Structure 1
Amino acid sequence: MEVAVSALRAELKTWIERARAGDEVIITDRGLPVARLTGIAAADLVQGLVRDGLLTPAQVERPLHEVPDAPSPSSSSIPAPAGAGGARAAVSGLVRRIRR
């Protein structure tokens, strides 16, 4: 379907909703096509998968993941870098252990 720029400006929300619904809207300026307005299929990917029966929404809320306390840098077998404070030192030590 085609719409003039002036009509598009006046009823922008309506035309966006039509594009979201799957219609392709050709925008014209003085009768000449200048742009195309289409919906983005990937924007509602999860809802589309649920609608098609390929994905089932969770029935209960998942518990939050609790991060365990990191060992202090002094108790680690890997020395903390000079000038590193608390959490940074713990993360640095963890990264070093993972890289071994």
Structure 2
Amino acid sequence: MELTVTELRKSLTKALEAAKDGEDVVITERGVPVARLGGVESSSLLAKLEADGVLTPAAESRAVPRLPQAEAAKDALSSLLGRLRR
């Protein structure tokens, strides 16, 4: 489905219903496509990328280690903000 911006304003509900039904709605301005409205799939982006073979899942789940440099930077920033607020 292709709609102009003016038509989209008048029939937004119709465009949303079309997107929900899986149809792409292309919005044009002066005959030039400027946006595409599409339905949101229920699967997550990571699951879709995994299904498409773009990425592979991690072999095992692991915690992200906290870096001492990050803690020191956080403390320095807190100290700086405290001095600026005085």
Relative contact order, higher structure (CA 8 A, sep 6+): 2
> Between Structure 1 and Structure 2, whose CA radius of gyration is higher?
1
Relative to its length, the structure with more helix (as a share) is: 2
Q: Structure 2 length normalisation: TM-score?
A: 0.48
Q: Structure 1 length normalisation: TM-score?
A: 0.41
